Copies of this chain bind each other. A is one copy, B any other.
Amino acid sequence: MLLVVETIGIDVGGTKVLGVALDPSCPDVVRAEQRVPTPEGGDGLVDTLLALVVGLSAPAARVGVGVPGLVDRQGTLRMGPHLRRLHDVPLAEVLTQRSGRLTVVDNDANCHAVAEQAAGSARGYDEALVVTLGTGIGAGIITGGRLLRGANGFAGEPGHMVVDPNGPPCPCGKRGCWERFASGTGFARLGRDAAYGGRLDGAVERAGGDPEALRGEHVTAAARAGDAEALTVVGQLAHWIALGLANLVNVLDPAVIVIGGGLVEAADLLLPEVQMRFSDLVMAGDRRPAVPIVAAALGDRAGAIGAALLAAEGG
């Protein structure tokens, strides 16, 4: 891909907004970057984004922005749980007008997928599934070498796929959505359930003795130290991740699955367990080519890099 003009990419996360400027002659080299806190609820986010754009780019630049939630083909956030005050704001249009830079807006997991395909773990694959396991779950689907966007731009939201109608309630109003089990939040819940059941003392100790304070990283640390109960909880998490991935592979048949998001920090512990369970859960696992399940390569800059690549492509 030839970047003819400077491109800026911005990833709006739950706690921080990250902006990167890419080297025009080499799309996977970040020339400059800047981080600021995400304003609560989305209030003032447009001003935050404009300040980042102006700070990072010259007036002729192109800008891409990734936001969590349902973003339509015109770059309007239709639904984003953490950015309610931005619902139905025509973000791409407003940012283009106010910054003077041509701006595209897309779903953050779509941006992750574009970056991992261009310069990360999905490089060279025309059929790839990129799944971000963080606070929630996002996905970007690459098919025929391009993003699958769907009719409205809303494709790739497997976090609210129901995988257990008797499972825990989800803020979306349903029960047993995949992200209740297989996200960072789900990991903490599995940990707390085990802790209240009197297991998982090693991890609870790491959380200061309070099961309510238990997070996935405490379980991971205990598991790395060889704690058998913590390893059991990691296995439960791996099972739920594998179950959802198998559902998706039955539908999409990707050649590779790339896992990004916060849980990727436990990839060394988690992914071998996921891979093992996946083969039993996917349809005809013994009669289809193996699907490698690998960690994302670009870390927490993936979303911003992908947003910049989409801007370069879409202008």
Contacts and interface: CB of A to CB of B under 8 A. Distances in A.
A12 interface: no
A160 B283 contact: yes
Nearest to A289: B152
Interface in A145-159: 146, 148-159
B284 A252 contact: no
* Interface size grouping (class) on chain A: 35 or more
B174 A281 contact: yes
Contacts of A248: 251
Nearest to A248: B251
A157 B287 contact: no
B158 A255 contact: no
Contacts of A281: 162, 174
Interface string A161-190: 111111000001110000000000000000
A95 to B, nearest CB: 21
Interface in A37-76: 70
Most buried by B among A151, A162, A254: A151
A127 interface: yes
A166 B166 contact: yes
B148 A252 contact: yes
Contact of A163 (B127, B150, B165, B287): B165
Most buried by B among A139, A149, A253: A253
B252 A150 contact: yes
A98 interface: no
Interface string A272-291: 00000000110110011100
How many protomers of this protein does the assembly include? 2
A239 to B, nearest CB: 9
A107 B231 CA distance: 41
Contact of A151 (B149, B255, B284): B255
A162 B247 contact: yes
Contact of A160 (B162, B250, B253): B250
Contacts of A79: 283-284, 287-288
Most buried by B among A70, A156, A251: A251
A143 interface: yes
B70 A284 contact: yes
A95 B182 CA distance: 45
Contacts of A160: 250, 283
B158 A251 contact: yes
27 contacts: A70-B283, A70-B287, A79-B287, A79-B288, A127-B150, A127-B151, A139-B251, A143-B143, A143-B148, A149-B253, A150-B252, A152-B288, A154-B288, A157-B251, A158-B247, A158-B251, A160-B250, A160-B283, A161-B161, A161-B251, A162-B243, A162-B247, A162-B281, A163-B165, A164-B164, A164-B165, A165-B243
Interface of A: 70, 78-79, 87, 126-127, 139, 141, 143-144, 146, 148-166, 172-174, 243, 246-248, 250-255, 280-281, 283-284, 287-289
